Amino acid sequence: MASVKTIDWRSDTVTRPCKAMRAAMAVAEVGDDVYGEDPTVNRLEALAAETAGTEAALFAASGAQSNLLALMAHCQRGDEYIVGQQAHAYRFEGGGAAVLGSIQPQPLDFEPDGTLSLERIAGAIKPDDVHFARTTLVCLENTHNGLALPPDYLERAAQFCRERGLRLHLDGARVFNAAVLQRTPVANLTRHCDSISICLSKGLGAPVGSVLCGDRALIARARRWRKVLGGGMRQAGILAAGGIYALENNIERLADDHDNAAFLARGLGRIPGLRVDFCPAQTNMVFVDLEADDAARLPDFLKTRNIVISDGQRLRLVAHLDIDRQDAETTVQAFADFFTATK
Ligand SMILES: *Cc1c(COP(=O)(O)O)cnc(C)c1O
């Protein structure tokens, strides 16, 4: 019996490795990566560095680990980093920078376009005074809530940081989505930054891992912290092979996810009473605001159609490589049925 497909919109982290990726992983050459002897990890790190336009890169277990390695490699105990109030590297990583790095966050509200205002950053930089933490680093996110940052913003932000002696980290978990949407090589979005963290396990479809990209000195410090944090993996080439496959095969196809997200947004937008948030800078995410009683019933209704969404009044629906156009059509129809037939 053919099993019924589950259409899972919760996140692009739910993708499973395809057959060809699994085959590449199965035959990966491996060695002990803590000795620097895993040829497949070394190949992934070289490929990531070349793609991001940096001197070096480091394979990490997750995006949270990769961001933390960057923060700890840039900052000393008693330093602070300026970061978005809703940024993953502040709000969604268990306070790791403070807990494990003795680094203080200075959160600021994001602007509606996903940037941090450079004026507000300037206002948050602490003077050199014993009362204050030392402001050392600015952390940006691209994409933020699926929004690709305006093309010239990163350049201006980088210049701003240089002028003030701050370093710039980019949480580029989904930076390839931004590059594909803006039809630009990803290096145009990363070369301004002192470090970049990129997730291989989201839209790119690898099962595990992120890469941290930066100059040799920074990556050497991050490598040391990775070992301290228990992230020194041995024959990790099996995982790295999935990452190489992702970088070689799954970047351009992110455009399909963006098309499917736009299709979904259009379809849901035609349903009376649904408030859909989707704009031209959006990549693979659609946000929908629901009334409380609809929000309480919708997930269970969709489950009967084998469609999975997160709970909450502000729905985030994420397109990814295990969702095709037919699935998006099925989803629009299911929403339409809920909001008309069941009322
Ligand atoms: C997913 C994500 C990360 C890291 O997530 P992990 O689950 O730790 O791999 C970091 N930043 C952003 C913006 C993310 O969306």
Residue 103 in tokens: 């680094």
Question: 267 CB less than 6 Å from ligand 1?
Answer: no
Measured CA to CA, the distance from residue 30 to residue 33 in angstroms comes to: 8
Question: 63 CB less than 6 Å from ligand 1?
Answer: yes
Ligand 1 centroid to residue 129 C-alpha, Å: 34
Measured CA to CA, the distance from residue 168 to residue 74 in angstroms comes to: 9
Question: 144 CB less than 6 Å from ligand 1?
Answer: no
Neighbours of 276 (CB within 10 A): 18
Ligand 1 centroid to residue 202 C-alpha, Å: 8
pLDDT of 343 higher than 60: no
Structural element, H or E, at residue 38? none
Ligand 1 centroid to residue 67 C-alpha, Å: 9
pLDDT of 34 higher than 80: yes
Question: 25 CB less than 6 Å from ligand 1?
Answer: no
Q: What is the pLDDT of residue 54?
A: 98
Q: How many CA atoms lie within 13 A of 322 on its CB side?
A: 21
Instruction: Specify the residue with its C-alpha closest to ligand 1, atom 10.
Output: 63
Measured CA to CA, the distance from residue 100 to residue 298 in angstroms comes to: 40
Residue 48 in tokens: 């990531």
pLDDT in tens, 111-151: 999 999 999 999 999 999 999 999 999 999 999 999 999 98
Report in angstroms the alpha-carbon separations of 302 from 50, 243, 263, 339: 43, 33, 18, 12
Q: What is the pLDDT of residue 342?
A: 59
Measured CA to CA, the distance from residue 208 to residue 261 in angstroms comes to: 24
169, 171, 284: residue to mutate for ligand 1 pocket, most atoms within 8 A of CB: 171
pLDDT in tens, 301-325: 999 999 999 999 999 999 999 999 9
Ordered DSSP codes for 196-237: EEEESSSTT--SS-EEEEE-HHHHHHHHHHHHHTT---SSTH
In the predicted model, what is the mean pLDDT of the chain? 97
Mean pLDDT of 157-170: 98
pLDDT over 90, % of the chain: 97
Question: 210 CB less than 6 Å from ligand 1?
Answer: yes
Measured CA to CA, the distance from residue 193 to residue 297 in angstroms comes to: 44
Measured CA to CA, the distance from residue 283 to residue 176 in angstroms comes to: 10
pLDDT of 341 higher than 80: no
With cut-offs at 50, 70 and 90, classify the pLDDT of residue 1. low
199, 226, 320: residue to mutate for ligand 1 pocket, most atoms within 8 A of CB: 199
Which residue has 């629906």 as its token pair?
Answer: 317
Ligand 1 centroid to residue 331 C-alpha, Å: 26
Question: 64 CB less than 6 Å from ligand 1?
Answer: yes
Q: CA 15: distance to chain centroid? A: 14
The b/e string for 139-148 (b: 16+ C-beta within 10 A; e otherwise) is: bbbbbbebbb
Which residue has 């995982």 as its token pair?
Answer: 239
Q: Does the pTM of the predicted model rise above 0.75?
A: yes
Q: What is the pLDDT of residue 139?
A: 98
pLDDT in tens, 53-100: 999 999 999 999 999 999 999 999 999 999 999 999 999 999 999 999
Phi, psi at 195, each rounded to 5°: -155, 155
Question: 199 CB less than 6 Å from ligand 1?
Answer: yes
Residue 76 in tokens: 């000393």
First CA to last CA distance, the chain: 34
pLDDT of 224 higher than 80: yes
